[in-house]
Amino acid sequence: MTPKSPEFKSASLEDWAKSAAKSAPGGQVDALNWLTPDGITVKPLYTAADTQDLAYANTLPGFEPYLRGPQATMYAVRPWTIRQYAGFSTAEESNAFYRKALAAGGQGVSVAFDLATHRGYDSDHPRVTGDVGKAGVAIDSVEDMKILFNEIPLDKVSVSMTMNGAVLPVLAGYVVAAEEQGVSQDQLSGTIQNDILKEFMVRNTYIYPPEPSMRIIGDIIEYTAKNMPKFNSISISGYHMQEAGANQALELAFTLADGKEYVKTAMAKGMDVDEFAGRLSFFWAIGMNFYLEVAKMRAARLLWCRIMKGFEAKNPKSLMLRTHCQTSGWSLTEQDPYNNVVRTTIEAMAAVFGGTQSLHTNSFDEAIALPTEFSSRIARNTQLIIQEETHITHVIDPWAGSYMMEKLTQDMADAAWTLIEEVEAMGGMTKAVDSGWAKLKIEAAAAEKQARIDSGKDVIVGVNKYKLKTEDAIESRDIDNVAVRDGQIARLQTIKAQRDNVAVQQALDALTTAAQNNSGNLLDLTVKAMRLRATVGEVSDALEKIFGRHRADTNKVSGVYAAAYDTDSTHGDTMDYWNHLKADIAAFAEQQGRRPRVMISKLGQDGHDRGAKVVATAFADLGFDVDMGPLFQTPEECARQAIENDVHAVGVSTLAAGHKTLVPAIIAELKKQGADDIIVFVGGVIPRQDYDFLYAAGVKGIYGPGTPIPVSARDVLDQIKKALG
């Protein structure tokens, strides 16, 4: 039967609704709707009626408002750039990885720095003993930068650097390393992240408070506009917001609001918007919410064009949103980890369908440790296969004209714009960040998401459904932190012995004076200091004398996690477990005269606090008394606070691989200070081969990625009872 045959009868929407209602829960078609975490209703069926009033459904790629792509031909002429974001221990090892990746099909270098560098500390600083070389490459000076880019032609290879807090010395070090390679500043291409507002909300690798940090951004935009015309002066990042728990609408709204704030900052320096706006770029996370991710990227271009027209930008390049994307790290699971290859492929497809300009695909083992060469090759080949084998690149914006996608794009734009207007009513993103409001919005979304997983409402294959009975061991990369740090310290000593220390001090003093008097350009002065072999830590210290160091609050949301455990939609056994656990905690309080008290801590320079905040929220909702330690504690500081607060247990949240150094140190400190009755438990990204080491050091519980929080809470309660006898 065909549409032209006599038997064919065209069904109406009303006919479909009647038919669908027969199989819908409660006989209601509305029950088939999906309400996304963003508050958007996604219907099971879309028709032409859903798009008839959309103003932008029939626009073209490369033309305002760029919804269908910033370039007219997109991948049909030039596919996206394949990047591998990486940094391992030393500059030598990272350089070897970059060169292999470029030879194997990589098309750009993306540098991951260690946490000591992010936070503006040299490798010999006592606060970074467990962080040097652990979650990225250690960079202390121009000499490290020269090794990092050895035999990589910086006039031909674009370089993306994820750096925010210590952005001045790191960017300056790259500039000087290029100069000494014979490459002038105007030949350099790539991107520096330089997105500090996001750091105050989620990632926390800041150094200075918001106001002086915004001045630094303005100086970098000004300097690069004059001297580095091919280099993107800022990559406005939503990636870390989604990784911290934001849904797609929050990520979209807060990222564009950050961008708006940066434009205001640059214009306040007297720059015309078209002088710099064409060099702004964006950076999105791409998670497993496939349709929403494609819609988010299309909506982002629509809204950015609207925002830039509000600044009276005239140059078409100022109106185009260009973006890098990275597949989600948070969606990767420790359990059944080869499933992560599939997850990354799906996320990469969403990024491509959304129109990204460059892409990094995560490796399947990154929920366990830093990626190996084997896993990195699979991640890189995922992109090569999409580019070379699928023929996807031959069609520009293949989702255009889809009733569902066009409507979802508009719905996403509307949801984000409502949030952007709320931010503007508060006085802009700097004030929204400074007040803590934006951070709490993201933390509430994170707690809600984790509760949906733990309660079984959201399925994660291999974690809360279709679980394996036994898990095979996965080879993972291990970094000898002590050896890396010793090597960095030796190089620092050599540099300081050979340089002109008087000239270096004069250059550092000039930076301090410029910070104090609000004079000069801080990047220009930092380039001069780095040429003389000032170090990352010395430059940071010179500015800290005036700017100070930012201290984050430790507020947590409440009630959000518990709200997911309702009798209507939570599985019965899950609800029973929750209620029994709450009753046991209440009984403990009755017997002991107080509730079980835990302190959730982050040791070292790891600022990723999504896990810590969600665990604190969930434990508090269960009935624990919960203290939050401030970020960046030393083991000594953590032990002192735990004793002063009279806690039963300390929970260490770790994602940056410093656990083998920092966790034994906190146990030793508690013992040293006469409090070895306080138990220590650990959660986060911990390779299974490290479990025995941690248990031998005295850890009482280890909870890897995917552990339901009520399960870990039960174990902590039992361990506290055992310790009390």
Residues in contact with 23: Cβ distance below 8 Å, sequence separation at least 6, in sequence order: none
DSSP-assigned states of every residue in 27-86: G-GGGG-EE-TTS-EE-S---GGGTTT-TTTT--TTSTT-TT-SSSSGGGTSPPEEEEEE
State in Å, rounded, how far the first CA of the chain is from the last one.
Answer: 77
Tokens standing for 256? 């564009």
Q: Which of the residues 66, 85, 121, 403 is marked catalytic? A: 85
Q: How far apart are CA 283 and CA 320, in angstroms?
A: 14
Residues in contact with 493: Cβ distance below 8 Å, sequence separation at least 6, in sequence order: none
Contact at 8 Å (CB) between 266 and 223?
no
Q: How far apart are CA 515 and CA 39, in angstroms?
A: 44
Contact at 8 Å (CB) between 546 and 512?
yes
Residue 595 φ then ψ, to 5°: -80, 155
Cis omega before residue 65 (within 30°)? yes
Q: Which of the residues 195, 397, 606, 690 is marked catalytic? A: 606
**R_g of the chain, CA atoms, integer Å:** 26
Tokens standing for 486? 């010793």
Largest CA distance in the chain: 95
Q: Which of the residues 66, 206, 239, 577 is marked catalytic? A: 239
Q: H-helix or E-strand containing 653? A: strand 649-654
Other C-beta atoms within 10 Å of 466: how many? 11
Q: Which residues are bridge partners to 56 per DSSP?
A: none
Q: Which of the residues 118, 134, 240, 439 is marked catalytic? A: 240
Q: How far apart are CA 136 and CA 97, in angstroms?
A: 12
Contact at 8 Å (CB) between 515 and 543?
yes
Residue from 204, 186, 187 nearest 195 by CA: 204
Q: How far apart are CA 159 and CA 231, in angstroms?
A: 9
Tokens standing for 236? 């406005």
Residues in contact with 293: Cβ distance below 8 Å, sequence separation at least 6, in sequence order: 248, 284, 286, 287, 347, 350, 351, 354
100 assigned to active site: no
240 assigned to active site: yes
What ranges in 390-480 are assigned the alpha helix state H? 403-425, 429-434, 437-454
- What would the 3-class secondary structure string for 240-253 be? HHHHCCCCHHHHHH
Other C-beta atoms within 10 Å of 426: how many? 16
Q: Which of the residues 296, 449, 602, 659 is marked catalytic? A: 602
DSSP-assigned states of every residue in 665-685: HHHHHHHHTT-TTSEEEEEES
CA 374 to chain centre: 24
Going from the C-alpha of 395 to that of each of 77, 320, 437, the distances in angstroms are 10, 20, 42
Kindly report the CA angle at 75 between 73 and 80, in degrees rounded to 5? 130
Contact at 8 Å (CB) between 624 and 650?
no
- Give the strand order in the sheet containing 625-628: 625-628, 597-601, 649-654, 679-684, 701-703
Please identify which residue in the block is written with the tokens 């691989």: 657
Q: Which of the residues 198, 608, 648, 700 is marked catalytic? A: 608
Q: Where in the sequence numbering do the catalytic residues fall?
A: 85, 239-240, 602, 606, 608
